[in-house]
Structure 1
Amino acid sequence: MPRKLLRRYLPEPHAVREHRLLRCFGSKLGHPDLWHLHRRCVARGVAVGFLSGLIPGPLQMLTAALLSLGWRSNLPVALLVTFYTNPLTIGPIYWVAYKLGSFLLGGNGNGVVQQPMPDFSFGAPLAWLSAMLDWMIGLGPALLVGLPVLATLLAIGGYFAVELFWRGWIVVRRRKSNARLRV
């Protein structure tokens, strides 16, 4: 069962509360919903992880932790889910966010057709770098709209996916249990 497996690897709440860097949060880290593995807290943790996963840089984990404290979601699950953005997946995810933002803004966001990515030139790397920077700035409006919309869609989808999967798991287990009792 996934809960038993997760419990084996989760830290003990009292150990986290007593950690020297986390003492400032005091009793807020002691709330049971931050550590319990029940359907709603885990679903909220997945939603928080998806929502904060598209925030650039090291702020993902901090945002996930703060949102978990505010929304009483499972803290370790929220922190773990933020890893869906990694060096292998960030390119495709940002491409989807750009396309979504372009669609929502009707084109690429500023009424100008987006130029193709500049080809690298070994002869003039500084000129290429300048052209690449201009190209990336042109992506700005679409990404600015697409990233929060994509993060929200992923959070909503993740929440309901966990709810449905968890409920399905319970239904299957009850049916198996009832079938054993009948035999």
Structure 2
Amino acid sequence: MAERMQAVARRMVPTREALVQNRFVRPLAARPELWRYTRRSVPRGVAVGLFVGIFALIPGVQIVGAALMCVPFRANVPLAAGATFLSNPVTTPMILLAALWVGSFLGLDADLTTFQALIDKGAGFGDWAAWLLSSAAPALVLGLFVISFVSAVIGYFSAIVLWRFWTARRRRVRLGRSAADGAPREA
């Protein structure tokens, strides 16, 4: 199962060479610390990717935005780019609905019945834009910010825990191999 997930991740996450071709991301490719998998850069990359992936729901902008956000946070670029795929055509409507609900829960006006009516009638871009530019925009932005921040924090701490389990397992395997070979154990 883990091998399949790694294979999928390798296919989905852009390579360093692919990002070098993008003129906006090219300066990042020259910084090797942004491409290493370390115990500090991995959780940062997950957090940055989740934050940008949820907050900026514009496809294409997410990966570039996550890569650019990795620079000040010294986060892992491939993981940040991969984490942006949490928001996809299947999850985006749920994220938008949750963001509107959170925004209205926090006191901003968002007409959820109009949102549902737009979905039901299959509204075009103009109808959605008119609705968003009305009173719904502040609630949506606040809700997206809260959801993306909470997701980034959860992703950060989850990545720390998973990193520790992964490194502990690798250490156990390495110690088991050295014990089987008759070599002295590491401390």
* TM-score in terms of structure 1 length: 0.71
Once structures 1 and 2 are overlaid, which stretch shifts more, 29-38 or 144-153? Answer: 29-38
User: How far, CA to CA, are the matches of 1:159 and 1:131 in structure 2?
Assistant: 33
Q: CA deviation at 1:95?
A: 1.4
* SS of residue matched to 2:40: helix
Residues 22-61 of structure 1 deviation map (CA, whole Å, 9 limit, x = unaligned): 6962xx5322221112222111111111111120323212
Contact persistence 1:118–1:135 (CA under 8 A)? no
1:1-183 equivalence runs, <5 A = 5=6, 15=17, 19=21, 21=23, 25=27, 28-54=28-54, 55-57=56-58, 58-105=60-107, 109-110=108-109, 114-115=112-113, 117-118=116-117, 133-134=130-131, 137-175=134-172, 181=179
Q: CA deviation at 1:90?
A: 0.3
Residues 71-124 of structure 1 deviation map (CA, whole Å, 9 limit, x = unaligned): 22111111111111111110111112222222222xxx13x8754533767xxx
Aligned CA distance change for structure 1 residues 18 and 135 (closer, same or farther; 3 Å): closer
Residues 133-183 of structure 1 deviation map (CA, whole Å, 9 limit, x = unaligned): 448844323212111111111111111100011112223444455567399
Letter in 2 for 1:80: G
Aligned CA distance change for structure 1 residues 34 and 136 (closer, same or farther; 3 Å): same
User: What do you get for the CA RMSD once the two structures are aligned?
Assistant: 3.9
* TM-score in terms of structure 2 length: 0.69
Aligned CA distance change for structure 1 residues 24 and 142 (closer, same or farther; 3 Å): closer
Letter in 1 for 2:163: W
Kindly name which structure, 1 or 2, has the bigger radius of gyration based on alpha carbons: 1
* SS of residue matched to 2:106: helix
Aligned CA distance change for structure 1 residues 103 and 38 (closer, same or farther; 3 Å): same
* SS of residue matched to 1:118: helix
Aligned CA distance change for structure 1 residues 18 and 49 (closer, same or farther; 3 Å): closer
Letter in 2 for 1:63: G
Once structures 1 and 2 are overlaid, which stretch shifts more, 94-103 or 152-161? Answer: 94-103
User: How far, CA to CA, are the matches of 1:11 and 1:130 in structure 2?
Assistant: 34
Letter in 1 for 2:99: A
User: How far, CA to CA, are the matches of 2:79 and 2:63 in structure 1?
Assistant: 11
User: How far, CA to CA, are the matches of 2:94 and 2:22 in structure 1?
Assistant: 38
Structure 1 segments unaligned to the other structure (5+ residues): none
